[in-house]
Amino acid sequence: MNFSGPVLVSIATYVLMLLAYRYRSKLWFHIPVMSAIIVYDICMPFYLYSTRDWYRRLIEQEEIFSMMIWTHIMLLITLYVLYALQIIAGRQLLKGGNEGREDHAAQGKGILIARALVILSAMMLVEPERPVEAVALLLGG
């Protein structure tokens, strides 16, 4: 597995997310941290699109047919849907209703699992900056 800058930042934000989940009763901490992580996750594809050569990788190298790419995309879509549902349930809780509490808790656990899988699949998809050196390291050289 490879660690690039975005992967390391994602891992750091995941640890922060775990802390915010742990201290969910401290709304002054929980809400801003979770909101910032959601914004980060929404902005990450735009950053990656603007800084990577996707045409070469997906079309020329034919990785568009890779099951790993499609798995990663489906995990991202799942994560975004969970985020939307989580925001709806969280807003209901802030209005004072308890009917969204169970949904919010279940979605929170789902988000932790889905986000971990998104980060793991991203780590498997990272293309090393120096492929020749990466192959040499794998071969023990």
- Burial code (b: 16+ CB inside 10 Å, e: under 16) for 10-46 equals beebbeebeebbeeeeeeeebeebbeebbeebeebee
Give the number of other CB atoms < 10 A from CB of residue 85.
Answer: 17
Distance CA 15, CA 77 (A): 21
pLDDT at 40: 96
- pLDDT (tens, 9 = 90+) of the chain, 141 residues, equals 556 788 889 999 999 999 999 999 899 999 999 999 999 999 998 988 888 777 777 777 777 777 888 899 999 999 999 999 999 999 988 888 777 788 889 999 999 999 999 999 988 887 766 555 555 555 665
The model scores a pTM over 0.75: yes
* Domain boundaries along the sequence of the chain: 5-138
Question: 36: closest CA among 11, 63, 13, 4?
Answer: 13
pLDDT at 113: 97
Tokens, residue 69: 């790419």
In which residue are the tokens 């919010």 written?
A: 104
